[in-house]
Structure 1
Amino acid sequence: MPAIGAQAAVRVVKKVCDAYAALKGNIKAGNLGREGSKRRLRAESKPIVFREDAAQPFDDRILTWNPDARTVSIWTVAGRLKHLPFVCSDEAMVLLASRKGESDLVLRDGMFFLIATVDLPEPEVFEPDGFLGVDLGIVNIATTSDGEILAGRALNRYRERHRDLRRKLQKKHTKSAKRALKRVRRREARHAANTNHIIAKRLVATAERTSRGIALEDLSGIRQRVTAKKDQRARLHSWAFAQLGRFVEYKARREGVPVVFADPRNTSRQCSECKHTPRTNRVTQARFVCRSCGAVLHADHNGSRNIAHRGEAVWKRGAVSRPRTSPR
């Protein structure tokens, strides 16, 4: 086994410490089940192991960036490799000027990626003139209080095609089928992340242009609370609602747009005009008809308007205690 330098050894020790700290944090947060559960016992009894192609962190002593030449110099067990070219977008090159801290070397689908950490200034959050409500759903991923529906039918068709493909591959039980399953899973994950980025960017741009904040549903624990119909379970459990929320939050912070989270209970049943809330208001999945005032709306549009109203109430309640430097 070749000898490694002192700094590389330090990074290896730090990586092991971080892995055990993450395990301890997951146990404390209850992510691995209750005390005595099979999953938790299995995680606690086995030592942590690392794949040969696992991501590896590098600091500035063992990895040097040269943005002008678009090259890096990186330490390896075979010695330092210099003048290795890298490619990225022009926007990413500008961001690299503010890079600091560690960089992670990741092997994905046969290609190496360097993930760098950059610092961006966070503008002060402006005082919103109302809120843009966003209703998240299974049929329509996001519907705004302006009536705009984002990522609906076309996205669901894409997910159904991939679900059918996974079923066919799972029946084969061959090594090539398993490799194909990994490719399909990663492709769908990339597509989901890209779609969530597009939705989040559009929501933040709309809110910033109209000087409004963004009100989202607090969907923590939705998969445990919601009982979906059999034909909707796969769609409920396959889409990254939490990821979309994180994307909206960080993009909004970059632009100084306030974000609040509202209680989602009864937003699909409550009339956004008169607040009447019987179960019969929701006629079908897409149609809302108020039994009191007679208002007729798309069901998701009605829900997003309720979320906008609740988001504004949340903002006003926190007006005294909330910090002015970051969104709620």
Structure 2
Amino acid sequence: MKLVVQVKLLPTPVQATALEATLRACNRAADHASAVAHTTGVQTRNDLQKAVYAEVKEGFGLSAQPAVRVVKKVVDAYAALRANLRAGNLGPANSKRYRTAAGSPITFRPLAAQPFDDRCLSWQFDARTVSIWTVRGRLRGIAFAAAPDQLKTLIAYRKGESDLLFRDGAWFLIATCEVPDPAVYEPVDFIGVDRGIVNLATTSDDTNYQGRGLSRYRRWQARKRTELQAKQTRSATRRLKRRAKKEQRHAIHINHVISKEIVAVAQRTGRGIAVEELGGIRERVRLRRDQRATLSSWPFHQLGQYLAYKARRAGVPFLEVDPAYTSQRCPRCGHTEKANRPTRDHFSCRRCGLAGPADLVAGVNVRNRARSAWAFVTMPVATAPIRA
């Protein structure tokens, strides 16, 4: 599996100035290549490189390999744009957002991240330094800081490009690592995980991770955001950006904690993990206006991603199951009815009388569906006898 390891660079002022000049030159060159790609419609790597290589290299002071990396960055950006347009992530074809994205060339921020391969950047792990190409020559001995686990992963598994990134006044390198997948064991059972808004996650073991604290924190952030937006000053805009990043980091931390604990329990008990497949839920669900912001900021997809990759890294079986009627189906008798869930928090079967927390019932149904799905997937294929 692919992992990324982020390390912090510790350049001197002179080195930082050279790194900044390099990012600015690379992104100006990327803007030029993007304009050519949009105007001519040439967006494949080889054809675009033939069209702009000489201009990018000579006009922006880039060496051969950085020029190639710039072209590749532009090609990847247009490939991502086409994928988003096809998937409908930018709205229908007649929407303003779609027309704006498709009708204008992609632009790059002056200090947007720039990928470097092993010809442009090398690591000296013993000295904890890197050597990197810049528009002002090769910079050697740039120190970096990394935790022992990060350094161990870099030494053993680093492969491919590393991105140079400037964020919040600091320099970082984001390295790609190819970590081998451990063998997935045969689970003795599954832990069903029901994701929600009031309760971020509820497992079939009756472990409840409440979202009350996150919701309260986000409401408080929304009030502060409204106050700052009313000021309409530059300093207020800067503070808004910092607050948005802080809120995002807070939600990421909570999802990491929840997913790490669930995966640890599954690994310790020899079980797998099952979640509901919730893709496209924002398009399927119709909500009141006052509920839309809550659903849009609900980090269920991120939690599912963290569960999936942490489970894969630990060799824990992971399944996504059909979410239909998991909160309305009785796990004991199988009776499914909307009236089985009289309120958001409570479940009461109209046929057999089974009652309990609705999220727990949903988690148990997810677990039961995972049992059936795993049995079907691992069922040996029957072969018909061969007749002469």
Cα shift readout 1:179-227 (whole Å, capped 9, x = no counterpart): 1111111111111112111111111111111111111011001111123
Where in structure 2 are the equivalents of 1:130-279 lying within 5 Å?
130-229=189-288, 231-279=290-338
Identity within the alignment, %: 52
Task: Give the conservation status (yes or no) of the 8 Å contact 1:2–1:77.
Answer: no
Where in structure 2 are the equivalents of 1:304-315 lying within 5 Å?
304-315=363-374
Q: Structure 2: how far apart are the matches of 1:280 and 1:227?
A: 20
Residue 37 in structure 1 maps to residue 95 in structure 2 = yes
What is the aligned counterpart of 1:3 among 61, 85, 88?
A: 61
Aligned length: 322
Residue 106 in structure 1 maps to residue 165 in structure 2 = yes
Aligned to 1:72: 130
Aligned to 1:282: 341
Q: Which runs of 4+ in 1 moved over 6 A?
A: none
SS at match of 1:135: strand
Aligned to 1:48: 106
Aligned-pair distance for 1:321?
Answer: 8.6
- Structure with greater helix share of residues: 2
SS at match of 2:199: coil
Aligned-pair distance for 1:230?
Answer: 5.1
Residue identity matched to 2:149: E
SS at match of 2:304: helix
Cα shift readout 1:148-203 (whole Å, capped 9, x = no counterpart): 01142222221221121111112221111111111111111111112111111111
Aligned to 1:57: 115
Aligned to 2:78: 20
Task: Give the conservation status (yes or no) of the 8 Å contact 1:123–1:256.
Answer: yes
Q: Structure 1: how far apart are the matches of 2:215 and 2:201?
A: 13
SS at match of 1:129: coil
Aligned-pair distance for 1:229?
Answer: 5.0
Task: Give the conservation status (yes or no) of the 8 Å contact 1:281–1:289.
Answer: yes
> Can you give the 5+ residue segments of structure 2 that lack an aligned partner in the other structure?
1-58, 382-388
SS at match of 1:86: strand
**TM-score w.r.t. length of structure 2:** 0.79
Aligned-pair distance for 1:243?
Answer: 1.5
> Can you give the 5+ residue segments of structure 1 that lack an aligned partner in the other structure?
323-328
Instruction: Name the larger-Rg structure.
Output: 2
SS at match of 2:108: coil
Aligned-pair distance for 1:58?
Answer: 0.8
Q: Structure 1: how far apart are the matches of 2:333 and 2:359?
A: 17
Q: Structure 2: how far apart are the matches of 1:72 and 1:235?
A: 44
Closer, same or farther in 2 for the Cα pair 1:237/1:177, shift >3 Å?
same
SS at match of 1:142: strand
- Which segment is superposed worse, 35-44 or 91-100? 35-44
> RMSD across aligned C-alpha pairs, in angstroms?
1.8
Q: Structure 2: how far apart are the matches of 1:2 and 1:104?
A: 20
Q: Structure 2: how far apart are the matches of 1:245 and 1:231?
A: 25
Residue 88 in structure 1 maps to residue 146 in structure 2 = yes
Residue identity matched to 2:114: Q
SS at match of 2:69: helix
Aligned-pair distance for 1:2?
Answer: 6.1
Task: Give the conservation status (yes or no) of the 8 Å contact 1:192–1:239.
Answer: no
